[in-house]
Structure 1
Amino acid sequence: MTSDEHLPELRASDADRERVADVLRDALAEGRLAMDEFEERLEEAYRAKTYAQLAPLTRDLPAAGAALPEVAPRAAAPGRPASGWAGRIGGEATTRRGIAIMSGFQRKGGWTVPRRFTMFSFWGGGELDLREADFETAEVEIRCISIMGGANVVLPPDMALEVRGIGIMGGFDHSQTGVPHTPGTPRVTLTGFAFWGGVGTSRKKTRAARRAEAEAAREQRRLAREERRLTREQRRKRLE
């Protein structure tokens, strides 16, 4: 029985297909795949419907083990809090680089940021979303190399950021530095260079945080309406 027959016949998501596509792009950039083989595998990756169909596409590549996600949810390390920033620091990195050559890549959702992540874009673009990510260490370096391309890093509102990158007919966005951060958050440092390209930064709240704020606002409006109603009733009783 082959190893593929042991894989669960679970449906692959768009994110699963993109992770495999990123492994194939890395292999092309490193000379492990010829262009025709890369195009053939990439087409098969986007057609794949299950994990079992995706697995053979990266089996002979160094990063194949990181191409598919774990089926079981990741548990918190023993003795480590399950929530808060302390519970999100530590563990094995999900991936250590992203390459966009006349294409794009994205890392978002529940992934683990390594101590050092390298972003390379040439006539392409990449995005790192750190809002729901875990972190291998409390000090993270994101090295951005953008040549006639672009990169963007999305941070939560309370994360520390330092930008040291160099722009040559391009630039690094410093607008999100100096923002007050919550003690205990990871510190992110952007380095590298941009040549006819740009590296941008932005801060956004997670969907869960926005929902919580919306629910709190609705509750405040409800309490205000109730207070007005009670005030009207008290006035009416005094007039009777």
Structure 2
Amino acid sequence: MTTPEPTDVGPSATSQTAPPPAVALRASDADRDQVAALLGAAYAEGRLTSEEHDERLAQVLGARTFADLIPLTTDLVPLDPRPATVTSTTPQFVVGHGGIAETDRMVAVFGGVERKGRWRVRSKSQITAVFGGVDLDLREADFDAPVVEMTVAACFGGVELKVPAGITVRSETVNIFGGTEVKNVGERVEGAPTLVIKGTVFFGGVSVKGPRQRMFGRGAARS
């Protein structure tokens, strides 16, 4: 009588039913957004250089699994494969320590300049508007320093700034047949940056507007 050979139950058979490890799970857009936000905060705090931030951000955009995302933040803060979502009403501002010394220059001559969404406001900016307009939305921006200065030269042109509620705005412009208006900013909140506006407004205008509703930080109501 011949004894039947045992059925193969080796690793190749069991691996089909074993669940994949957590790090092998697919990453969602929300997971990639969270890591990108963490990298942006680390860059603003000076823990990443501009080159390191750009390199890691490119890897975030190409990440498919948690195993691709975790190494990008292990030297910054611990990142759980499935981080919990924390809801807070505390105002959140990303404010660095002035790591970029180069002045950000924006020029609108018979044209326009617009910035909105997530971008970095350098500690010093120079804005020129001659028969043109500059529209800057700072409500979702990161700030390079606790105090950022914008030097304006407006001649028959205008500059419009949309700011999050809670920041301090200080106007030091010289207005000649022109004006600078600041409204709906509200009371300053802890951790918020200070925006200083300098320069000359000649036959033009500078408008600084906060959100109409008193909601602080990112996600504030749009005006």
TM-score of the aligned structures, taking structure 1 as reference length: 0.50
Larger proportion of helix? 1
Alpha carbons 1:164, 1:192 under 8 Å: kept: yes
**How far 1:107 moved relative to its partner?**
1.5
Are 1:193 and 2:200 matched, yes or no? yes
Call closer, same or farther: CA 1:118–1:197 in 2, change over 3 Å: same
- Amino acid corresponding to residue 168 of structure 1 in structure 2: I
| Largest Rg, 1 or 2 | 2
Matches within 5 A, 1:32-181: 72=58, 78=76, 84-85=92-93, 87-90=94-97, 92=100, 96-175=104-183, 179-181=186-188
Q: Is the 8 A contact 1:135 1:186 kept in 2?
A: yes
Runs of 4 or more, structure 1, over 4 Å off, are 73-77, 90-95
* CA–CA separation in structure 2 for the residues paired with 1:180 and 1:112: 23
* Compared CA separation, residues 210 and 148, structure 1 to 2 (3 A): closer
| 8 Å contact kept, 2:95–2:193 | no
Distance (Å, rounded) in 1 between the aligned partners of 2:105 and 2:177: 24
- SS of match in other structure, 1:184: coil
CA offsets per residue over residues 92-132 of structure 1, 9 Å max, x none?
Answer: 58970211000000121111111111110000000111111
Gaps of 5+ in 1: 1-68, 212-240
| Secondary structure of residue in 2 paired with 1:181 | coil
Retained in 1: the 8 A contact 2:151–2:197? Answer: yes
Q: 1:95·1:113 contact (CA, 8 Å) conserved in 2?
A: no
Distance in 1 (CA, whole Å) between partners of 2:160 and 2:175 is: 15
**Residue type matched to 2:136 in 1?**
L
| Matched-pair contact (CA < 8 Å) for 1:93–1:135 | no
Count of aligned pairs between the two proteins? 140
Query: Of the candidates 193, 202, 212, which is equivalent to residue 209 of structure 2?
Result: 202
Shift in Å, 1:174: 3.7
Determine if contact 1:93/1:136 at 8 Å carries over to the other structure.
no
- How far off is 1:146 after superposition? 0.4
Work out whether residues 100 and 125 of structure 1, in 8 Å CA contact, stay in contact via their aligned partners in 2.
yes
Pair 1:183 & 2:190 matched: yes
Quote the RMSD (CA, aligned, Å): 3.4
Percent identity over the alignment is 30
Amino acid in the other structure paired with 1:144: V
CA 1:93–1:173 in structure 2 vs 1: closer, same or farther (change >3 Å)?
same
**Cα distance in 2, alignment partners of residues 181 and 190 from structure 1:** 17
Partner of 1:64: none
- CA deviation profile, 1:158-209 (whole Å, cap 9, x unmatched): 11111111110111114457x3111111100111111110011101268844
